[in-house]
Amino acid sequence: MVARRRHLWSVLLALVVALLTLLIWLAGRFEASQFQERLERDVTASVSDLRATFLRHVQSVQALQVNDPTPNSWSVEAALLLREQREFVRIEWRTVDLQVLSHADTPFRASVFERLGRDGAASEVAQACGNARRLSGPAYGTSYYLPLRDGLGVDVMELCLPLSKSGQLAGYLVVTFALQQVLDNLLERKTLTNGQASFTEGDGTRLVMRGPPRSGSRVFTAQQLIDLPGANLVLRMDQWRGAPELFPNVLTALVTGMSFALLLVLALLGKDTRRRLKVERDLAEALAFRKAMEDSLLTGLRARDMQGLTTYVNPAFCQMVGIRADRLIGHSLPAPYWPPESIDEYQQRQAIRLAGKLPPRDGFESVFMHQDGTRFPVLIIEAPLIDAQGRQAGWMSAVLDISEQRRVEEISRTSQERLQATARLATVGEMASLLSHELNQPLAAISGYAAGSLNLLHDAPQHATLLGADITLAMQRIAEQAERAGKVIKSVHDFVRRRDPEHEVLAPQSLVDAILPLVNLQARKLSVRVQVQIQDGLPLVRCDRTMVEQVLLNLARNAMQAMEPPQILDRLLVIRVRRVPGDELRQWLEFSLADVGVGILPAVQQQLFQPFFTTRAEGMGLGLSLCRTVVEQYGGALSFAPNRPMGTVFAFTLPAVAMA
């Protein structure tokens, strides 16, 4: 046994060493390939940018020949282009035989041809223009080196664009650009760390270069040909880095592999022992957890086999029926907790269950009997009991004692009945309050007409000729207001009981005319002038005449009372009826009452329509609340707004009757 263990440890050590070596080597190869691929992608993207740059060069130079410029105007435009394109060092307009008509040099450096003169590059210009003539398009010459007076030099290339007029060759545009500036502009848009970029010729000769000197032991190189018409230019990028570290970026995979190998070898040494201990520990924990869970449940659990014998009950079930578990387990039907009067019914139900028919998923109610004979309702939820082989071995039942639930339901039902009775009493109180509020106006009018009649009777000798007509008119008014009081009682009664009101089709003028006598009566007492403005051609409205007239009276009375302060001298009430914009389905009429009173304070505006809120000692606070409720019954709205320069405007809308 000891020799075998030593052999396994030796195998483990050799496996770990071999795995580490292999992973480090693979990591180094992987990182190198990834680095090379990334560098090649950068070169490809840079070549695409360069091709786009050269294409823009051609387009910008071609724009110089728009509108047939003169040599003088052309030189001005060329100078502007040289300021925009820093890589251009010279632009020339040449004839067919390559004679210079006009030219411009870059303002950012001294002329590159100052030392050797322009004739020293005549062969390169001739080559580029020969390529352009042969290709009938832009062409490039080979790169060449120009020494400068400061001892340095610059590598340049010539770009030649043929000019045609009426299908004939008319001349050339020659652009000389610095390769170093082109490379610098490219790298300004890209990040190149730990590396160099350069332009080379096809044979590998390096022309221009940018980047720090080499500082790494490993060099990665990628290059790609920039295929230009008439010339070939190669972009090369070199990047360097140190040797791979001992632990590359795949350290996680390395540790995982080592751990897996170690666990595999250790599993071979203690496989049987660990498995036995784990199974025993899991079994003990599972039994302890199940026991603790079952003992803590308030729900009764009962298990029965396919023959109906009880195989398991938990303490909650035993406490529920008052019988010990040893007297229930193994007991056949009928169960000792079944009420004697229900045994036949329960046996039929169990026969159906044992036949394999599933019970309802939401359970069913039943009645159990405690050992002392007390009956109590239960809710039973049953489900098939499946064994380890996936076969049904019986039924598992969850039993809930719902005695407390039934008691709570009974209390809730009783409380609901009491609440309904209270709501009915509140409705009666509301109806009484509304009646007392709405009857104030017609009763006040009756009282006023009666007092006027008494005054006429008292002054009968002095006004004998007019007495009969005035008393007759007063009696008519008293009768009208008494009838109005009866209608108010009936309307409010129907409103509280939520009955459908009696609607009439009325003209807006008739609603205003019906309230004017009462409004004028109170207006004379308060020295208020009343103006009525009714728009011509208004449609009819369908509404409850009494309730809408009451809304108008309430709003008119409130408006006149708002002008009671003595500092208000010119008291004016304007009653206006007009048509307001609606939609295709319904038209609206607006009734508005404007006063010149003291207005409404902001604190009062927030509570204005709340029932029983009032700012007057004699008020009840129900008028505006009732008005809004009446208007909203017809789908309209009651609102208010300031009346400039002073006062308030109350307005409500009613739907118009569609004309046939």
Query: Domain ends where: 210, 231, 249?
Result: 249
- Do residues 496 and 510 share a domain? no
- Do residues 166 and 220 share a domain? yes
Percent of the chain that is helix, strand, coil (3-state, to 5): 50, 25, 30
**Per-residue model confidence (pLDDT) at position 491:** 58
CB within 8 Å of 515: residues ≥ 6 apart: 549, 552, 553, 556
**Per-residue model confidence (pLDDT) at position 442:** 65
**Per-residue model confidence (pLDDT) at position 247:** 47
Specify the CATH number for the domain of residue 651. Answer: 3.30.565.10
User: Would residue 260 count as lying in a domain?
Assistant: no
**Per-residue model confidence (pLDDT) at position 245:** 47
**Residue pointed to by tokens 């650009």:** 177
Q: What is the DSSP string of 559-626?
A: HHHTT-STT--S-EEEEEEEEE---SS--EEEEEEE--S----HHHHTTTTSTT--SSTT--S-HHHH
- Do residues 215 and 234 share a domain? yes
**Per-residue model confidence (pLDDT) at position 573:** 93
**Residue pointed to by tokens 């009649």:** 453
Note whether 91 and 159 are within 8 A (CB).
Answer: no
CB within 8 Å of 244: residues ≥ 6 apart: 24, 27, 28, 31, 32
Note whether 393 and 303 are within 8 A (CB).
Answer: no
- Do residues 161 and 97 share a domain? yes
Q: What is the mean pLDDT of each run of 10 residues along the chain (660 residues)?
A: 64 70 67 79 85 87 83 87 87 87 85 74 84 88 81 85 85 88 78 76 80 71 84 83 52 60 69 72 78 73 80 83 82 81 80 68 78 85 78 80 81 70 49 54 65 63 56 68 64 54 83 88 88 91 86 90 85 92 80 91 80 68 79 88 90 82
Query: Domain ends where: 231, 249, 267?
Result: 249
- Do residues 345 and 427 share a domain? no
Q: Structure tokens of 553?
A: 């009276």
DSSP bridge partners of 100: 94
- Do residues 462 and 323 share a domain? no
- Do residues 27 and 162 share a domain? yes
User: Would residue 241 count as lying in a domain?
Assistant: yes
- Do residues 424 and 543 share a domain? no
- Do residues 579 and 641 share a domain? yes
Q: Is the dihedral of CA 475, 477, 480, 481 positive or negative?
A: negative
Query: Domain ends where: 443, 476, 500?
Result: 500
CB within 8 Å of 151: residues ≥ 6 apart: none
User: Would residue 623 count as lying in a domain?
Assistant: yes
Domain span holding position 608: 502-660
Specify the CATH number for the domain of residue 475. Answer: 1.10.287
**Per-residue model confidence (pLDDT) at position 577:** 94
- Do residues 456 and 561 share a domain? no
Specify the CATH number for the domain of residue 389. Answer: 3.30.450.20
User: Would residue 265 count as lying in a domain?
Assistant: no
**Residue 627: how many other CB atoms lie within 10 Å:** 23
- Do residues 236 and 314 share a domain? no
The C-alpha atoms of residue 291 and residue 655 are separated, in whole angstroms, by: 73
User: Would residue 104 count as lying in a domain?
Assistant: yes
User: Would residue 4 count as lying in a domain?
Assistant: no
Q: What is the DSSP letter of 540?
A: P
Q: Structure tokens of 204?
A: 């590998």
Q: Which of 642, 561, 523, 527 is nearest to 594 (CA)?
A: 642
The C-alpha atoms of residue 66 and residue 59 are separated, in whole angstroms, by: 11
The C-alpha atoms of residue 90 and residue 104 are separated, in whole angstroms, by: 6
User: Would residue 9 count as lying in a domain?
Assistant: no
User: Would residue 110 count as lying in a domain?
Assistant: yes
**Per-residue model confidence (pLDDT) at position 325:** 79
- Provide long-range contacts, Cβ within 8 A and 24+ apart, for 426-433: 427/496, 430/496, 431/492, 431/493, 431/496, 433/620, 433/622
- Do residues 495 and 523 share a domain? no
How many domains is the chain partitioned into structurally?
A: 4
CB within 8 Å of 233: residues ≥ 6 apart: 143, 157, 179, 199, 200, 201, 225, 226
**Per-residue model confidence (pLDDT) at position 428:** 47
Longest dimension (CA), the chain: 150
The C-alpha atoms of residue 246 and residue 640 are separated, in whole angstroms, by: 84
Burial (0-12, 13-18, 19+ Cβ within 10 Å), 428:
exposed
Angstrom distances, CA of residue 624 to CA of 108, 206, 514, 627: 85, 96, 20, 5
* 253 membership: H or E segment, kind and range: helix 251-296
The C-alpha atoms of residue 446 and residue 454 are separated, in whole angstroms, by: 12
